[in-house]
Structure 1
Amino acid sequence: MKFHVLVLSLAVSLPLVAQESNDFAFLAARDAFRSGDRNKLERAGSQLGNHELAAYVENYRLRMWMDQGDAVGMRAFLERNDKTYVAEKLRADWIRWLGKRANWNDVDSEYPRLIAPEPDVTCYSQQARLARNDRSVFDEVEKLWLTQIEPPEPCRPVLDALVSSQRMNSDDVWARARRQLEANRPVWTKTTLNYLPDSQLPDSKALDAAIANPMGYLVRQPGNWYASRGGRELAIFAIQRIATNDPHVAADELDKLKSRLQDGEKQWAWGQIGLQAAKKHMPEAVAWYENAGKIALSDDAYQWKVRAALRAREWGIVHNTILAMPAALAAQPEWIYWLGRAQKAGGRTTDANALFEKIAGQASFYGNLADEELGRAITPPPKAKAPTAEEQKAARDNPAIRRAMAFFRLDMRTEAVREWNWSLRGMEDRELLAAADLARRNQIWDRAINTADRTKNEHDYTLRFLAPYGEQVRPAAQNQSLDDAWVYGLMRQESRFITSAKSSVGASGLMQLMPATAKWVAKKIGLRDFSQSQVHDAQTNVLLGTSYMRLVMENLDNHPVLASAAYNAGPGRAKKWRADQALEGAIYAESIPFSETRDYVKKVMSNAVYYSILFNGKPDSLKARLGIVGPRSNDTPKNADLP
């Protein structure tokens, strides 16, 4: 029943022919491919006719026969479907097949035709280049030495060759191993250390002990542990592992060992203690980071040094740390903004404003804040003209969009989104707006929003910030005394208004409610005969979600930044992330330890500004919404059992 209703709704709003019988043939072909039934695949394919997804069935056939080595058929298909998503993925898989068989000439031939190669496929291409003695590969691989923490299997031979070329020495090996340990990848740390000469390899049992039982290792390490590089490195590895649980204990242990360590070794250890302390919002983090001196840090460690300094209001450290960052990292909007704030705190207003100008006007958290630092109101740009009939027709007739719409018709959302996103490559603003409008008219809200978000010069913020389900959301927000702009800002980030959305952890519906939370709220508000299946009903989902938002607000000083963090990560964490003193809302948001929640809160709050402007027709202030987050409190909150 659901399939037929979906087909009908799309057929009414979209001038595409609903090929129901051919749809079933496609589904049969897909099932045959999944089960490895070649005969069934051939029968289903013969019934497909001129279906939008016929290329996918041919792709299934070629994949099933890949072991037969039909290079002619493969190349013919890739030529006919060049630059399409299905050809891109098939070509990548063929390169993987060729690479595993060391067919390097064919890899060399096919790789340049990929549009967006994945890392493992790139490594097959690099292997092919090494096979013809192209040493320039090493220049590329060397740049990834400290950042490719978990290399795909095809990259291993390239890394092996890099080390064998003697471009990497023991210092480089230890540096990579340290980065991997910092990223909590101990298995890869051990793998990297195998690149050391045999005479420098640490004892495997000692390495395991330093990582798995660091305190025990330090207690039992031999008296002359400091006599070798390996012994000293294992000692600071143990310090790093201790710091992940208790930076204070790690600092105490490092104080005992530091006289036996070389400067670079103890500085790295202090940096690791600072990093872990910063993530735990410990006030000692700044001082521990300072003990690390000017040693080069990982991107993560640089960013957390700035966050620790922000919470401590150490603007000089903020300034100097951002200047020490790698150029690509320092060029990110958040660090441009905070460098500007540091300049402003130091009285260098002209320099600060020049930095704010770099990101002002961007429809983002830091773009909004930069505008306000420059004294400008946050306002959407003028609305672009509606797509013309010709532009609408071009969007409908776009072959990639037609394939995406066919997948949507078949309720194959994952495949539909991939095909849709691929269709947008290289589109100009007018094409993007027409595609976004097409998605809106078919109630594919997430694609409408994401597509409209891509425009560079012509914009339609009514598409970027769609507000569907108004009959359910606006009254529910009003009943709970909630700001409807904030509710929509949160929903936009949670589900992009897809009622069937379900997260990897089990959250469901428009407001992405966890089963236990939905059950708790239903009981709290007296919703009788509640069942989990109701969470996918828009009315019930919004009722439960807005009720929970109200309870969270009451639990957290009615502060939307805290409540947004709580909605994503839980009220207990949102309270824990406060400081002993009041914090700017922007500093609280930037120093949230969970990267997902940090990004989420920023986007929810910026979304709310734009929804407010669109709903009320007047400017709004992100700074005012962020406000000041009060200090920690030991008071028992209302609804202390809030999940």
Structure 2
Amino acid sequence: MKKKVDALCGRQKTVAGILFLALCIAAPSFAAEKSKKTGQPTQGRMSAFEITEGDRTFIELREAAKRNDVARAQTLAANLTNYPYDDYVAYFRIKPQLFDSAGIARADTNADSQVIKFLNQYQGTALADRMRNDWLLVLGKRKDWARFDAEYPKFVLDDDTQVKCYALQSQLEQGVNPTKLAIDARAVMLDPRYFGQACQELIPTLVGAGGMTPSEAKALGRAAGEMSFETVSRRIGGEDPIADIVKSARSDPAKAYRDFSQNASRYS
């Protein structure tokens, strides 16, 4: 009886082994067949996402807008009259008219009517908010404070340091206490990379109005100098007697500290 049981168990093991081996052999061909079956629909789906000629033109338009290339942007936008993203086409067509090739706002732009039309047409969208941001830089550069003050409260994101500096300039023109505005300016001017022309104009104006001391202005300028923005530093705080030490501190802080300590009386 025991021999029969052992023989039966042996046959079961053999059958199980054969089945396992068969599955192993069949698995690659099954996987390949499945791959063939699913491969064709996938390829079909991929073709639906191919870049069209219109898409290529749109990408070129975006790049032209980045460069503020007015002529190129106008030409490309004219070829996208039926493109589905008409709001972006319009934005990329208008935006280069607001800035020069260096990215500085143009006070002499004649695109105001186009901007207003865009803001009305796409009111409430993120892109309209970005357009308003761009236009506020133009209005601030132009010192058109009446229109600037009308548009600034509508700027939802309010994430532009230059626009905030222009807002403070506008308040100063209206007679707001310059000392208060100086406090607000220090709260706004946290990163010299974003000071731009507006903040560079604001600080000397506040110093002239008595709202900020020259030493406080130099401290802000020094922050810019520490990040290698020497020109911005001079425009904000004037000539800094320790500018060279600040500059050398970037490469050798210990030596800069020794030099400053030895000559501290010169800078007091």
Q: Report the TM-score when normalising by structure 1.
A: 0.27
Instruction: Point out where structure 1 has 5 or more consecutive residues left out of the alignment.
Output: 13-17, 195-200, 213-236, 266-643
Whether contact under 8 Å (1:83, 1:115) holds in the other structure is no
After superposition, the Cα gap between the structure-2 partners of 1:19 and 1:252, relative to the gap in structure 1 and judged at 3 Å, is closer
Return the structure number with greater helix share.
2
For 2:202, which of 137, 147, 158 is the aligned residue? 158
Equivalent position of 1:125 in the other structure: 167
Equivalent position of 2:86 in the other structure: 54
Whether contact under 8 Å (2:70, 2:93) holds in the other structure is no
Indicate the structure (1 or 2) with the bigger Cα radius of gyration.
2
Q: Deviations over 1:332-351 (max 9, x none)?
A: xxxxxxxxxxxxxxxxxxxx
Structure 1 position 78, deviation (Å): 1.5
For 1:9, which of 35, 40, 46 is the aligned residue? 46
Equivalent position of 1:79 in the other structure: 120
Count residues in correspondence. 210
Whether contact under 8 Å (1:22, 1:47) holds in the other structure is no
Q: Deviations over 1:131-169 (max 9, x none)?
A: 333445444114346x45452111222212211221222
Distance 1:142 1:130 in 2: 15
Distance 2:191 2:43 in 1: 43
Distance 1:45 1:90 in 2: 20
Show structure 1 runs of 4+ deviating over 6 A: none
For 2:71, which of 25, 32, 36 is the aligned residue? 36
Q: Deviations over 1:221-275 (max 9, x none)?
A: xxxxxxxxxxxxxxxx48x83685262x5566566557x589xx6xxxxxxxxxx
SS in 2 for 1:45: coil
After superposition, the Cα gap between the structure-2 partners of 1:61 and 1:245, relative to the gap in structure 1 and judged at 3 Å, is closer
Distance 1:153 1:131 in 2: 17
Distance 1:187 1:20 in 2: 45
Amino acid at match of 1:82: Q
Question: Do residues 101 (structure 1) and 142 (structure 2) align?
Answer: yes
Whether contact under 8 Å (1:30, 1:60) holds in the other structure is yes
Distance 2:60 2:229 in 1: 42
Distance 1:46 1:93 in 2: 24
After superposition, the Cα gap between the structure-2 partners of 1:87 and 1:193, relative to the gap in structure 1 and judged at 3 Å, is closer
Structure 1 position 179, deviation (Å): 4.1
Equivalent position of 1:245 in the other structure: 252
Equivalent position of 1:608 in the other structure: none
After superposition, the Cα gap between the structure-2 partners of 1:6 and 1:155, relative to the gap in structure 1 and judged at 3 Å, is farther
SS in 2 for 1:97: helix
For 1:89, which of 130, 141, 151 is the aligned residue? 130
Q: 5 Å matches for 1:12-411?
A: 20=52, 22-23=54-55, 26-27=58-59, 30=62, 34=69, 36-37=71-72, 40-41=75-76, 43-48=78-83, 51=84, 53-63=85-95, 67-71=109-113, 73-117=114-158, 118-135=160-177, 137-144=181-188, 147-149=190-192, 151-194=195-238, 207=241, 211-212=243-244, 237=245, 241=248, 244-245=251-252, 247=254, 249=255
Whether contact under 8 Å (2:74, 2:93) holds in the other structure is no
Amino acid at match of 1:95: L
SS in 1 for 2:79: helix
Distance 2:77 2:262 in 1: 72
SS in 1 for 2:210: coil
Amino acid at match of 1:36: A
Whether contact under 8 Å (1:176, 1:192) holds in the other structure is yes
CA RMSD of aligned residues (A): 4.2
After superposition, the Cα gap between the structure-2 partners of 1:193 and 1:7, relative to the gap in structure 1 and judged at 3 Å, is farther
After superposition, the Cα gap between the structure-2 partners of 1:171 and 1:246, relative to the gap in structure 1 and judged at 3 Å, is closer
Q: Report the TM-score when normalising by structure 2.
A: 0.58
Distance 2:62 2:261 in 1: 63
Provide the identity percentage.
Answer: 19
After superposition, the Cα gap between the structure-2 partners of 1:20 and 1:99, relative to the gap in structure 1 and judged at 3 Å, is same
Distance 1:65 1:7 in 2: 42
Q: 5 Å matches for 1:216-615?
A: 237=245, 241=248, 244-245=251-252, 247=254, 249=255
Distance 1:164 1:7 in 2: 69
Amino acid at match of 1:55: D
Structure 1 position 57, deviation (Å): 1.2
